[in-house]
Amino acid sequence: MRAVEDGSDQAGSSVAASAPAVPLDALAERRVPERARGLRSAGSGGRPKVVVIMPAYNAARTLEQTYAELPKDVVDHVIVVDDASRDDTVAIAEQLGLNAVVHVQNRGYGGNQKTCYLEALKAGADIVVMLHPDYQYDSTKVPALIEPILAGRADVVLGSRFLGEGALAGGMPLYKFLANRFLTRVENAAFGIELSELHTGLRAYRRSVLEALPFVVNSEDFVFDSQIIAQCVYKGFRIDEIAVPTRYFPEASSVNWRRSIVYGLATLRVVGSYLLNRLGMRRDSAFTDTLADVIPAYHWQQIDRARGAVGEACVAVPVSA
Ligand X SMILES: Nc1nc2c(ncn2[C@@H]2O[C@H](COP(=O)(O)OP(=O)(O)O)[C@@H](O)[C@H]2O)c(=O)[nH]1
In the list 148, 201, 264, 311, the residue contacting ligand X (rule: CB under 6 A) is 201
Toward ligand X, which CB reaches closer, 43 or 108?
108
d(CA 74, CA 72) in angstroms, rounded, equals 5
Q: Does 225 bind ligand X (CB under 6 A)?
A: no
Give the Å distances, CA to CA, from 77 to 31, 108, 242, 274, 278: 25, 23, 22, 34, 37
Sketch the per residue contact string, 43 through 82, with Mg ion: x for CB under 5 A, - otherwise.
Answer: ----------------------------------------
Binding segment for Mg ion (CB under 5 A), chosen from 58-66, 172-180, 246-254, 305-313, is: 246-254
Which amino acid belongs to residue 55?
P
Number of neighbouring beta carbons within 10 Å of residue 38: 10
Site for Mg ion (CB under 5 A): how many residues?
Answer: 4
Q: Which stretch binds ligand X (CB under 6 A): 70-78, 151-159, 183-191, 247-255?
A: 247-255
Distance CA 3, CA 68 (A): 25
With respect to Mg ion, which residue has the nearer C-beta, 101 or 252? 252
Q: Which 3 state secondary structure label does DSSP give 203? A: strand
Stretch that binds ligand X, among 101-109, 152-160, 185-193, 202-210 (CB under 6 A): 101-109
| DSSP sequence for 73-124 | TT--EEEEEE-S-SSSHHHHHHHTT-EEEEESS---HHHHHHHHHHHHHHTT
- Closest alpha carbon to 128 in 292, 296, 307, 319: 307
135 binds ligand X (CB under 6 A): no
Q: Which of 252, 292, 295, 303 binds Mg ion (CB under 5 A)?
A: 252
Q: Which residues bind ligand X (CB under 6 A)?
A: 55-57, 59, 83, 106, 108-109, 112, 132-134, 136, 201, 252-255
